[in-house]
Structure formats: structure tokens, C-alpha cells
């Protein structure tokens, strides 16, 4: 069996990132009625940025320094998303560290044009410390953290593969 080419890995990573967002919006939010918190919305934005960059890399099929530029961007989005997810995991275990009431992040995010344009996707109304749903004993922020780490690993593997033309 031939090894996956870099553009296949980028395509898989891009679609995988979008799948997390679709799952969050259409299952967790719409079906279960869970409201996204400010940190959830920020993670959605990083999943979308990662996915768009990975899909661009899949179709562009960069060689040389271009592939390292894509890797840098992909790892930037994944690292920032993982940092936000890790902070939210911390808050779920230490809710006293979170401030009560409407946070500055929530005011900022809900004031952005994205929140006005597509409120179901980008409006933050949930509690960042509350765990309402788990899968295999893992909360949504824990799953998100794992997803960002895996997506980053896929991006690194794709950058190390021979260029595919």
C-alpha cells in the first residue's frame, strides 16, 4: 500500500476540522441545546481557520518553502486552539478561577460581525466551566484539545511527506 500523499493528509485534516465544527453546531448545539461559551466560539474559529488553511494546502499542493508556510499556519491555528481548549479544561476542573457574569470575552465576541452574521455559529452564551456532555468520559474541551493535537500532528506528517504534484 502506498503512503498517503501530503495533499490527501491536508484534505483529511481540513475535512476533519470542519467535522468537529459541524458536530458542535448541529449535534451539541442544535440537537442537545447546549450553548457555546466564549472559549467554545474561539475554538470554532481556530478549527475553521485550520480547516480552510489545510484545504487550501490540499488544493495548492505546495512544494519547497510553501509547504513550510502552510505547516507554520496550520500549527499556529492548532496551537492557539489547543491553548484555548487547555484553558477551558482547566476552568472545568477549577471553576472558581472563572469570573462570574458576562465576561469581557463574551462581550467582545458577541460584538463581532461574525456573531451578528451567523449567531448560531459564533454567538457566545454558555458557561465555560460547565460540563454538560461527555464522550468516553471526556468533556467537549478535552475532546477539542485532543483534536487540535491530532490535527497538528497530521499537518506535521503532511509537511514531511514528499511533495505531491
Q: Which domains does the chain have, with CATH numbers?
A: 6-160 (1.20.1550.10)
Radius of gyration of the chain (CA): 17
- Is the pTM higher than 0.85? The answer reads yes
What confidence score (pLDDT) does residue 152 get?
Answer: 93
Q: Does residue 108 surpass a pLDDT of 90?
A: no
**CA atoms of 62 and 165, how far apart (whole Å):** 8
Rounded average pLDDT over 119-136: 87
Least reliable range by pLDDT among 25-34, 35-44, 107-116, 147-156 = 107-116
The C-alpha angle with vertex 111 and arms to 107 and 116, in degrees rounded to 5, equals 130
Local confidence band at 1 (pLDDT 50, 70, 90 cut-offs): very low
The residue ranking higher by pLDDT, 8 or 141, is 141
DSSP 65-121: HHHHHHHHHHHHHHHHHHHHHHHHHHHHH-GGGSPSSS-HHHHHHHHSHHHHH-HHH
Amino acid at each position: 500500500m502506498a503512503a498517503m500523499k501530503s495533499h490527501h493528509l491536508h484534505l483529511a485534516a481540513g475535512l476533519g476540522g470542519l467535522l468537529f465544527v459541524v458536530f458542535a453546531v448541529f449535534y451539541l448545539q442544535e440537537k442537545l441545546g447546549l450553548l457555546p461559551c466564549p472559549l467554545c466560539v474561539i475554538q470554532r474559529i481556530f478549527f475553521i481557520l485550520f480547516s480552510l488553511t489545510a484545504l487550501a494546502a490540499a488544493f495548492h499542493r505546495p512544494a519547497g518553502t510553501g509547504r513550510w508556510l502552510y505547516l507554520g499556519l496550520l500549527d499556529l491555528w492548532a496551537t492557539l486552539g489547543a491553548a484555548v481548549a487547555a484553558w477551558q479544561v482547566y476552568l472545568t476542573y477549577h471553576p472558581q478561577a472563572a469570573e462570574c457574569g458576562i465576561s469581557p470575552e463574551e462581550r467582545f465576541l458577541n460584538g463581532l460581525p461574525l456573531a451578528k452574521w451567523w449567531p448560531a455559529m459564533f454567538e457566545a452564551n454558555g458557561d465555560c466551566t460547565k460540563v454538560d456532555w461527555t464522550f468516553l468520559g471526556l468533556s467537549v474541551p478535552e475532546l477539542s484539545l485532543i483534536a487540535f493535537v491530532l490535527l497538528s500532528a497530521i499537518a506535521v506528517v503532511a509537511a514531511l511527506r514528499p511533495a505531491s504534484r
